[in-house]
Structures are given as structure tokens and as C-alpha cells.
A and B are shown apart, each in its own frame.
Chain A
């Protein structure tokens, strides 16, 4: 039995907008699963459907094997962290965290004990008397987490909890969150538009776009074997290089003869594109000559943009090289593309060749 399961779930807004289109997935006990997608992809709506804040138009949502479509949010026994944190502005931090237990009529002594221990765990025991408006963004975020962690719900639902933090804090909290939810063995669904976050934190990632689930898989699978061009482009920084293979001849410098034959066959079926991530391209020696047009130092690495010409067409390719390399704009370089890491897309869908 899965902890959470969605079967053919559909949510429409009005007549035309399919916010969630036939969502099927499950989450197992203790898993940390991300819903990843650009804004408007339906990920937050999916989360709200699970929470019961929106009602599904079609399909089944079950928690612990029990269909919960008709249950209100309060009956589903879930905890949610909102993007805005949704802290109660007139209540102290202590009270904010105590509310879920107070609603369940837990004794005052037990509430105190629980709030204190959660506050210790989150490193905010000194803030319990403060009001939300007296806290920094990061502190508010911890209080919101505390309010979710205060009880042991079926599911933790996190709606972009790091989106409103500054970059340094966001990076730090990423790791903290991961170990926190691992520590409490919570089943967690995490909505984010930040692919780095999803890849870094999750056991599995569900990529969505236009209300449709594109791919479900472990982070490295999503990264290495994206199911289509959208996922390939959306996941991974720096972004993957994708260029069209118009004919086999133009690719003769890029592909081995074996692959060229396969490509030839593929070209009869439709539009073929080749994708390769920047880290799989070297610029020291190789069959393709080009000119460096831009270098972007990224700390340990340098992202080098190179203009090459395949047959008569000029295309821009990005390569990620170690920062020990001396390279500057205007240099002539020779590219080599790692063929084993190439991805082939036929009509935007990835195919093995």
C-alpha cells in the first residue's frame, strides 16, 4: 500500500484551463518526492488537491489506501508549509506552533513539551515569545516548519518553502530540510520550480508542465535520461545544449559512423535534435573547430560559449571546463562531444539509438 496515490486526477479551472491533467503517481512511506515545474505547470494545484484545499474534478486521491476525495483538509491529517508561511500574525511563535495540537485538544503540559523540543530541533527556542512580524525571513520559515513538524501527520506538504529566502540561506536550508525530514521519517511532497533544489533534495522527482506529468524518476535518472526535450532543458544548470540534426552529412564530424546510420533512419520519422550537457564537451582537442565567444567563470568551472559551424550552419555550444584552463574570448578551440552522453530527440521525445 502506498502512503499517497493519485489516480487519473483531473482539475479544471473554468472550461478551458486544465490545471492538472490526468495525474497518476504514488508516494511511499518515508519518501521525499518533489513536484518540479515552471510556474503554471500545475504543481501547486496538485499539492492543494492532495491537501484538500481544491477538489478534484475527476480521479481518485488516496492516503494510506483510503480514498480522501470527499474529506476536508482538516480530516486528512496532513501538515503543510505555505510559500508565504501563513503564520498567524497576532499569535506568538509558541502559539503558532501550538495551534495544531490545541485543535486536537492535547494537554497544555504536553503541548509545552512538544513545542519546546521542536523549537530546540529547529534552533529557535529563544524566539518563542516573539510575533511573526519580529522575525527574519529565515526565522519565519523555521516557525512554519515547526508548525508542520509539531505533530506526526500522514504527509508533509511543502509549497516552495525556500522561495522567499535569500540565496545563501536557501542553499543552507536545502540541506537542513533534507536531513530534517529524513530524521523525522516524514513522507514529504515538495513543490518547487527550482530544479537544483529538486535534484539535490529528493528521492524522486515528478516533473510537470502544462498540467501534465512529464516524467517521474530518481534525480539522476531525470538528469541523465530525460524523457523529452522539455525535461532535458528544464533540469540541469548550466542548461543542456540542443541542436537540430538536419541531415546525417552535417553530423559527420560529431557522430560515429554507427550512430550516423541510425540517425539517417531517424530522420525519416521527423525532426531530430541532439542534446549534450556542457560538462560532456571538451574544448582542448577534437574534430570540431570553433571560436570562443563568451566565458563565464562559475567558481570551480568556467562556462565557455563556442561558435561552431556544422556544414554551413553556425551554432552556439556551451562547454563546462575546469577553472584551471586558460581560455579567453576570441580563442580558436577544438571541440569534442562525448558521444556516449548524447541524447537524441525525435519530435521532442527522447529516443535511444
Chain B
């Protein structure tokens, strides 16, 4: 038999055990992941009579809503991820310093990220609410604005609010991943460079940044994937509104599928979004290897 390491007497029981252990996840995965995925692709390429068609895609790609959602998603991802990476990096550098109570600070720092998004979004919704939310009124009382600003009912402000909430929630995640990267850099490299005469900026540029590239790539990949699929934050905070001002791709898919009950349009949008995301990952990794090579040849 093929499996030589297994005692032939026990082989049957061993196989049964194997199947027994593995089957729950296989079943689960098939029913809840693979089946919906295939069904989704099927929906996107068929019409109501189950005949093959490209009309679903044609309708979406020629309409304006999809492109608007794409643009909102791209804007949201680029702006929020940029802020999160920069602020996260700064926090990672700070948390990498020796100071009293560092472990406690590191734990507390993670709370925003540990909160379920729907809950933290509800919190932000309350804080930003026009008629009784603390933030608009504090801004007004401090005479920073002339009246309590409308955060969630003005298109640009609503978009900014979503980005702000996302940054608040996700900076700890970025900081933690980047901190892990920072801590993987041996301390004696810094010491060697100090002895060689380098200042902090030189060390940051020539040591920290290039050695952080792997961690930066991983963080960027994670963040872009999450940001591109953003749903719960928007759904709770603005419901995609006002108008469609914050209707990113995922809320748009939801809206098509469950509000308008246009399952095939939703499925087609989901397929295109998947292609976006695959493309995004490819771009990130190509960029990474290009940047890596540039450092390598220096």
C-alpha cells in the first residue's frame, strides 16, 4: 500500500479517524464557502431563465452607480490606508522605545481594534450625531465651528467621518504588525550604525525602512484587502449615504442583492470586486519585489 508508515492492521481505523477529523471542516467549507462562491459566479453569468449571458456585467459596467462605488472605494482605501500606515509606523516606533508600563500601554492601545466594528461604528455614530452627539457640540462650544457641524448628513463630511473612524480602529492593527517587524531587527545593527557615526534619520532610512519592507508589505496587503471590502463600518455609520456619498463596493453589492433583490447584479459586482482585489494583491507584491531589488542593488 502507499502508506508505508501506517501499520496495515490499523490502516482502516486510521483512515476513518482521518476522515472523521477532517470532514467537518470540509463540509463546512463546502456549504458555506465553496458553494456560495460557485453559486455567485453562476448567478453573475446567467439570466433569470438560467441561460448564459453577459448582460449582468454589461448593465453594471455601463451604469454609473458601479463606477461611483469603485471610485469611493478606491478613495477610501488609499486615504485611510495611507494615514493608517504613517500613523501606525509612528506609533510602532514609539511603542518600540523602552518606557515604564510599555506592556500595559501596548494592551490598552489595542482596544479600538479589538472592538467589533458594528459596535465601534455605533459609538462613532452617537458621537457624531448632529442633534445630541458630543463631537459637533464640543466643536461648537469651543468656537471652532460657528454651529454644530453635520458630520453624517453632508457628503464630504460623511466620507471624512468614515475615514476617521476607520483610522481610529485600524491604526493599532497596523502599529502592531509594524512593531513586530521592528522588533525583528537585531539591536546590534543599530548599535553598529551608531558607532559608525549615523544619526537617527540615516538609521531610519538605511536600516529601519529597508529591513521593514516585508512587514510593510504584509500590513499593506492586509489593510488594502480589508479596506477594499469595507462594509459594516459604512453600513452602520452612514448606510452608504447621504445619497450614495459613502456607497463603497461592498455596501453597493448588499444594496443590489438584498434591498433591490437584484441578485444577479449583486453577483456580477462581487465578481468584478474579486478581480479588483486579486489585481491589487498582485500590484502590491510586484511593487514590493521592485522596491526590494532596488535596495538590493544599492
Contact = CB atoms under 8 A, between A and B. Distances in A.
B197 A100 contact: yes
B194 interface: yes
Given A103-B196, A147-B196, A86 B202 contact: no
Interface string B198-230: 110010001100110000000000000000000
A51 to B, nearest CB: 6
A51 B188 contact: no
Contacts, number: 63
A95 interface: yes
B54 interface: no
A74 B194 contact: yes
Nearest to A76: B195
A53 B202 contact: no
Most chain B beta-carbon contacts within 10 A, residue among A74, A79, A80, A89: A74
Contacts of A80: 191-192, 195
> Top 5 nearest A-B pairs by Cβ distance?
A86-B192, A86-B188, A100-B196, A73-B194, A74-B197
B212 to A, nearest CB: 10
Contacts of B196: 74, 79, 99-100, 103, 147
Most chain A beta-carbon contacts within 10 A, residue among B194, B198, B211: B194
A87 to B, nearest CB: 8
B195 A79 contact: yes
A78 interface: yes
B189 to A, nearest CB: 5
Interface in B127-160: none
A74 B194 CA distance: 5
Given A84-B188, A86-B189, A99-B206, A91 B298 contact: yes
A82 B192 contact: yes
B195 A90 contact: no
Contacts of B258: none
18 contacts: A51-B195, A53-B194, A72-B194, A74-B196, A74-B198, A78-B195, A79-B195, A79-B196, A80-B195, A82-B188, A82-B192, A84-B186, A86-B189, A88-B206, A88-B207, A90-B211, A131-B296, A147-B196
Contact of A53 (B189, B191, B206, B207): B191
B195 A99 contact: no
A209 B296 CA distance: 44
Interface string A174-210: 0000000000000000000000000000000000000
Contact of B295 (A74, A90, A100): A90
Interface string A93-115: 00100011001100000000000
